[in-house]
Amino acid sequence: MPLWMIYHPPSTFTSEDEKAALAKDITAVYTAVPLPAFYVNVLFVPLPATSIYIGGTARPSPHTSANEPGSDSSVPFIRVTIQHIARTLPNDEVRDRFLKTVDEALKPHVADKGYDWEYSIEETRRDLWKVQGMVPPMPGSDAELEWVRENKALAFEPARGNL
């Protein structure tokens, strides 16, 4: 349901442990709701520096006077796109709390490493989403709570999913 696409140069997120730690921190953002952990998709998309341009300058690339003014082009740039399928941030308070939680999840993996970064979130319609060919149960329903407990999609009667 949440899909995180992390676009990064190959010089970042180089180990399985690094990727797993970030993916676990991202998953924790959602399992606290609680959502089933298997809803959370995190994809690492390495791109050569010659495919990441910020302000017309490859990132990372040697920093020269031609790159001035602006950020140090030798610093890797990380771009994260987040899709929320089926659930939306209903008001400013929830939005602000969620953005703070995202910032906290990314901090040790991106900000603390000195990378330049940005993210954006898009919310899509629930009626265009299926899991294992099923319309997922509604939030907080008995069927969804079972999906949380079992961490997988299970067949359910529509009434148990509040459908």
Q: Cα(135)–Cα(2) distance, rounded to whole angstroms?
A: 16
The domain segmentation of the chain, as residue ranges, is: 2-129, 133-163
CATH topology of domain 2-129: Macrophage Migration Inhibitory Factor (3.30.429)
Q: Each residue of 31-76: pLDDT tens digit?
A: 999 899 999 999 999 999 889 999 888 898 887 777 777 788 899 9
Tell me the mean pLDDT in the region 22-39: 96
For residue 76, the model assigns a pLDDT of: 95
- Tens of pLDDT, residues 79-99: 999 999 988 999 999 999 999
Radius of gyration of the chain (CA): 19
**Model-level pTM greater than 0.75?**
yes
* 3-state secondary structure (DSSP) of residue 153: coil
